[in-house]
Structure 1
Amino acid sequence: VSLIRALNIVIEQTRNEKLRTALAECAAKIEAGSSFSQAMEENEDDIFPPVMVYMVRAGETGGFLDKSLITVADSFEADVRLQGQIKSALAYPVVVLCIALALVAVMLLTIVPMFDNMYKSMNATLPLITQIMVAMGKVAPVAIPLVIVGLIAFFMFWRRNRNKDFIRSWWEPFLLKAPVFGKLNTNVALARFCNNFSSMLASGVPILNALDIVGSTSGNYVLDTASKRVSNLVERGYRLSDSMASETVFPTMLTQMVSIGEDSGAIDQMLASAGKAYDEEAQSMAKQLTSLLEPLMILVLGVVVGFMVLGLYMPMFSMFDAMNANA
């Protein structure tokens, strides 16, 4: 099937309007005499990632465009699969946390004021835990709307600026060192780096061009800046493995495998093996986190509800005890 016909078939099957328009523009430019990679370049970053453009260009130059596209597809599918597993692992605790917060807000806004009025009318002496609940209930009508507005403003700011360097330079290093999730984030970033680096080298992309691109595909600022420094050292004549070893973000296992790949002439294969190892480790950690977080979040929800119920009913128990003593 010719490239133009293949693109037209894909265009007919594509539901996303933005992607369909970009593919139609590519088809028109190819008919006008441009190469596929040149046609994709104008939508680079916006639609077609740089790693895809470079691999398509390498496939065109070497006469194996079909294999390059298969490699791109395999890499993207593996990344999406891994991200899906991590999102599913985090979905349960996030939902439980939201339910707990919503439950607390409803109780503070509706139930706590009712009990407060009832205890005032009975001149009951309130224990400390109930006093805290009552104070939170008085502040809640003002605090909760402010918190909601603040969260909306924060998410709007975050969505607009999260990819800017002044955010990435402190947030993404924190992700690699965060408690519990730091190791998982590190494995995900390294798996992306290794898989994309391997795919680009296997497709014939020059190593310096590949290093300039793969850092950004890892999705982490630390790996991005480290890969650019490695590229500078390789350009000056240093071995790839020695250059990577100078960056603490690259584990010893990875640099040793790259060294073996350099000696045997199979860097792409060793990177693919390393990427598979980090991918599998990330999947295993995601499953373990799911099994650990589920009972933990149920416990948190139980503690929150128990705290509030205990705080509301403790004065009632005290009054019953006093009545029984007087009787």
Structure 2
Amino acid sequence: MVMHLDRYSYVARDERGKVVKGILSAESEIDLANKIRNMGYFLTKASLYREKKAGGKEGSIKGKDLLTFTIHLATLVEAGIPLVEGLRDLSRNAEKEDAGKLIDDLRYRVESGSSLKEALSMHPGSFNSLYLALIGAGEATGKLVFALESLSVFLEWQMDLKSKIKEAMTYPILLSIAMVGVVTLLMVKVVPIFKPMFNQVGTELPFTTQMVINASDFIKHYFILLLFVPVLFIVGYKIIYSKPQGKYMFDSLKLKMPIFGDLIHKIALSRFCHILSLSLQSGVNILGALDISISAMGNSRLEASTKRARDSINLGEKIATSLEVTGDFPPLIIRMIGVGEESGTLANSLNKVSQFYDKEIPRTINRIFTLFEPIMIITMGFVVGFIAISIFMPMFKLAQSLD
């Protein structure tokens, strides 16, 4: 006779009083208490766990937590620990409750007969198409450890890149805020002090002085409304960007931006090469690997042109030739892919391109923001100087006329 098992959400303690939480299947609360005791804990609280609909509502895991989960799972699987036991261990030791719930749900699904990929696919908010494809290929080919290690390398690279961009942007952003603050202070507090003086003299003011005074009046009277301009811009951008045509338009403009367009292009190409290399090494077929890589480029204009290349490859064209026709891939990538195709070492060739971009992108970031800082300082000096000269010019003329 097959016994019915219910899922229980429980709270337990060990001999030292450490609290652990989790979800476990049992016939009853008594059976649950026995299972918890066999695990070395004492049950303190239990309740029936309500199954949530597939879609990833049972916690989430992102960023650094996802990287940690992937590294630890790879280590446990490589050590020969059964997947269910490894997931149970990770669930108990998760630092965040949400992550613990998600990992425990993965354990339950795998224990119930699902593959790891199937279990992960129930949480699309945490595991993207790349993650699922590499895990699926790893399970199918017996290279699960390699797939997990490859994902760890990619996630670490992605986090490192974001960190470098944020670090490089910090000073320019602070400088921009300071510039806006100084100009606003001058226009709202300093310029109005001189306005009664100019009115009292009654002489015609120079064009630049009148322009500064008018701008000061406008900012002072509509200051609250001006604060909403950036908010309206961001909301409008998000609304337009949420539509395919708007997204394509903005992504095309991003690539044409002076200075920053080149960086955006390089990051997209680096992602493409990284993911295509990892996918092929993990056993994903070329068309599937291209689909995953294209979706991760992060720019719809580049994705559209690369999809056309993918269609040509599907019809039998060479990869290098198809990508070259788009005009979006530099000669370095085309040559390396061509060599890889001819020699049967495409994944290795793409990996070398990725290594090149791993060095080139940080150099580009440093060049951009090293150039950006003096430009901001010069701009700030020019604006402040323009306001000061515009205000003091009539005073100098008045002093000369009195002499």
TM-score by length of 1: 0.91
Report whether the alignment pairs 1:76 with 2:155.
yes
Per the alignment, residue 310 of structure 2 pairs with: 231
Give the drift of 1:166.
2.4
Q: Specify the SS of the correspondent of 1:38.
A: helix
Per the alignment, residue 174 of structure 1 pairs with: 253
Preserved contact between residue 59 and residue 203 of structure 1 (Cα < 8 Å): yes
Preserved contact between residue 195 and residue 271 of structure 1 (Cα < 8 Å): yes
Give the drift of 1:275.
1.6
Preserved contact between residue 188 and residue 279 of structure 1 (Cα < 8 Å): no
Q: Specify the SS of the correspondent of 2:298.
A: coil
1:164-188 Cα shifts (integer Å, max 9, x gaps): 4223211112222211111111111
Measure the CA separation in 1 of the matches of 2:249 and 2:199.
50
Preserved contact between residue 215 and residue 226 of structure 1 (Cα < 8 Å): no
Equivalent in 369, 372, 376 of residue 297 of structure 1: 376
Equivalent in 191, 198, 212 of residue 133 of structure 1: 212
Per the alignment, residue 112 of structure 1 pairs with: 191
Aligned residues: 323
Equivalent AA in structure 2 for residue 245 of structure 1: E
1:196-239 Cα shifts (integer Å, max 9, x gaps): 11001011111111111111111111232233222222222222
Report whether the alignment pairs 1:31 with 2:111.
yes
Q: Specify the SS of the correspondent of 2:350.
A: helix
Structure index of larger Rg: 2
Measure the CA separation in 2 of the matches of 1:290 and 1:167.
28
Preserved contact between residue 19 and residue 47 of structure 1 (Cα < 8 Å): no
Q: Which moved more, 1:220-229 or 1:52-61?
A: 220-229
Residue 175 to residue 104, structure 1, CA distance change in 2 (3 Å): same
Per the alignment, residue 234 of structure 2 pairs with: 155
1:243-277 Cα shifts (integer Å, max 9, x gaps): 22221112222122111101111101101111221
Preserved contact between residue 176 and residue 186 of structure 1 (Cα < 8 Å): yes
Equivalent in 83, 104, 119 of residue 3 of structure 1: 83
Preserved contact between residue 59 and residue 204 of structure 1 (Cα < 8 Å): yes
Q: What does 1:193-208 align with in structure 2 at a 5 Å threshold?
A: 193-208=272-287
Residue 183 to residue 157, structure 1, CA distance change in 2 (3 Å): same
Q: Which runs of 5+ in 1 are unaligned?
A: none
Measure the CA separation in 1 of the matches of 2:289 and 2:306.
9
Report whether the alignment pairs 1:47 with 2:121.
no
Give the drift of 1:310.
1.7
Q: Which moved more, 1:197-206 or 1:245-254?
A: 245-254
Preserved contact between residue 272 and residue 297 of structure 2 (Cα < 8 Å): yes
Q: What does 1:175-324 align with in structure 2 at a 5 Å threshold?
A: 175-323=254-402
Measure the CA separation in 2 of the matches of 1:20 and 1:71.
23
Q: Which moved more, 1:195-204 or 1:159-168?
A: 159-168
Q: Which runs of 5+ in 2 are unaligned?
A: 1-80
TM-score by length of 2: 0.75
Equivalent AA in structure 1 for residue 329 of structure 2: F
Preserved contact between residue 55 and residue 68 of structure 1 (Cα < 8 Å): yes
1:4-41 Cα shifts (integer Å, max 9, x gaps): 33334444454555544433322221111111111111
Equivalent AA in structure 2 for residue 5 of structure 1: E
Query: Comparing both chains, which one has the higher relative contact order based on Cα–Cα distances under 8 Å and sequence gaps of 6 or more?
Result: 1
1:135-154 Cα shifts (integer Å, max 9, x gaps): 11121134443332132123
Equivalent AA in structure 1 for residue 299 of structure 2: N
Preserved contact between residue 196 and residue 214 of structure 1 (Cα < 8 Å): yes
Residue 172 to residue 303, structure 1, CA distance change in 2 (3 Å): same
Residue 311 to residue 186, structure 1, CA distance change in 2 (3 Å): same
Q: Specify the SS of the correspondent of 2:326.
A: coil
- Matched-pair identity in %: 28
Measure the CA separation in 1 of the matches of 2:353 and 2:84.
37
Q: Specify the SS of the correspondent of 1:246.
A: helix
Give the drift of 1:280.
1.6
Preserved contact between residue 211 and residue 230 of structure 1 (Cα < 8 Å): no
Measure the CA separation in 1 of the matches of 2:241 and 2:107.
33
Preserved contact between residue 240 and residue 247 of structure 2 (Cα < 8 Å): no
Q: Specify the SS of the correspondent of 1:126.
A: coil
